[in-house]
A and B are shown apart, each in its own frame.
Chain A
């Protein structure tokens, strides 16, 4: 199964540009797309899942051009969005069986539905209407619906937004298990934890452009520098001074201390992915006109 995703020169504007000549190739594994609100993440997923047409550019899933043959492409991917896409009036089981039939599983649909309900610990709840489900159960059922067949690429648009930590961890486990079977996972998220704990590769989208692309370590290294923290007697940071990591910049930082700060303890801290994310998204905000 070919889970390659190739995006070239993809652009989309609604009044203002949302995606700006985006190029990206993903060969497999778990890919996380980070970005602040309005960066264009959901628009990109909508285009890749054939819901929205781009203004220009093209994209291929497993070698299939999604614009020229959307129906062919729909055989290769599944998507779970920010909002769940379930039928509230039907039971969990009925939802899965219906979608399974639409996907072409025929009589096998009900067996597959049972297996998924079992896997996602929804077997008893499967007989109740989805309207009675909690947020976490809905997300899990929605994810199960994306796994009725085995997609080459699975799109997850902020799959854990609004979930409690327990439900979130369960979704993470599901995603890891799926990735282990060879499906390419394209994940968008606003939580750095999520990207760091799931993804092999992280890209940062800012105002419709990719501003960073690599592993978590590479992203942190790209931002570079060391932060000089001034700590009070309880170890709480009173002030932090960002340096580029050289001795000279540290010396400058130390000599700039105020008299009352000279009694404080100091610590050097490597930036976290959080810092990298803030640095990447803010620098570009300042650079952009």
Chain B
């Protein structure tokens, strides 16, 4: 090794929370871009699902115009696919040591979570856009005005933020990367138990209230109503669920983050 003297290292001032969040967002986006398979899955799975439901099951479920019925559900299912990967990213940081170094830097180390969350929201919004474009290409004909489009996309964005935050907690609390990965199934299950793919009226009567009132129930209804003009849009109920999940996740993160130290 040559001498350490010539490059004259300066002292470590550290940076504020905005600056460090910016650095961590850049890091997480780089992870997303580098993880080609992950990106492919985040986009390909929802697109496959859209095609599968439209062309294979569609005829049996609703003979005509099923594409208009199913798109809101596919958008939300897609949001779930992508967000679940945050649990893995957060858990990797804790179990593989990166967090240990971040905690010894003169920064607020919790901003590493901001990086993962923001990158996940962006990644999911991109995947959502692609799903919408494919849907339009295969015959999705929304009646929404520009304002309704923004309202629908806003609801989707807040929902993505909510489940991303929830999965960040799951990543903090999970003992291993494999365990963190496993919890993703919960979100893949939720959309089926709503009007996303089949009308709620076709479910057994005891199941209908659950499907109507679970977090994704009102959301599917609201997005479908905003985009296609069918039924009422329970916007407030959707926002209440999303914001509730965000608030709960914040509390859980605040509790779980200090505990994740000793691992």
Residues of A within 8 A of B (CB): 1, 49-52, 71-72, 74-79, 81, 83-90, 94, 98-99, 101-105, 108, 111-112, 115-116, 118-121, 129, 145, 147-151, 170, 173-174, 177-178, 181
Contacts and interface: CB of A to CB of B under 8 A. Distances in A.
Given A75-B106, A85-B98, A112 B20 contact: no
B12 interface: yes
Interface in B70-116: 96-98, 100-107
A173 B14 CA distance: 28
A108 B96 CA distance: 28
B14 A102 contact: yes
B205 interface: no
Given A87-B98, A148-B12, 4 more contacts: A52-B262, A102-B14, A119-B2, A149-B9
A83 B261 contact: no
11 contacts: A51-B261, A52-B262, A71-B14, A78-B104, A85-B97, A86-B101, A103-B13, A112-B7, A120-B1, A145-B101, A149-B10
B106 A74 contact: yes
B14 A94 contact: no
Contacts of A1: 11
A51 B1 contact: no
A103 B1 contact: no
Contact of B103 (A50, A116, A121, A151): A50
A64 to B, nearest CB: 11
Given A83-B97, A102-B14, A104-B13, A52 B261 contact: yes
A83 B11 CA distance: 25
Contacts of B31: 89-90
Contacts of B11: 1, 75, 149-150
Interface in B198-245: none
Nearest to B16: A104
B151 to A, nearest CB: 36
A118 B12 CA distance: 21
Contact of A102 (B7, B23, B30, B35): B23
Interface string B1-30: 111111101111111000110010011001
Interface residues of B, number: 36
A81 B13 contact: no
Contact of A148 (B9, B35, B102): B9
A174 B1 CA distance: 7
B1 A71 contact: no
Which interface residue of B13, B19, B96, B101 has the most chain A CB atoms within 10 A?
A: B101
Interface of B: 1-7, 9-15, 19-20, 23, 26-27, 30-31, 34-35, 96-98, 100-107, 261-262
A90 B6 CA distance: 27
Contact of A51 (B3, B98, B100): B100
B104 A170 contact: no
A115 B261 CA distance: 32
B257 to A, nearest CB: 13
A99 B106 contact: no
A177 B4 CA distance: 7
A221 to B, nearest CB: 34
Contacts of B103: 50-51
A99 B4 contact: no
Contact of B15 (A49, A104, A170): A104
A147 B101 contact: no
A84 B97 CA distance: 6
A57 B142 CA distance: 67
A121 B2 CA distance: 9
Given A50-B104, A77-B104, A177-B1, A102 B9 contact: no
Given A51-B103, A74-B105, A101 B15 contact: yes
Contacts of B101: 79, 85-86, 99, 145
A51 B101 CA distance: 10
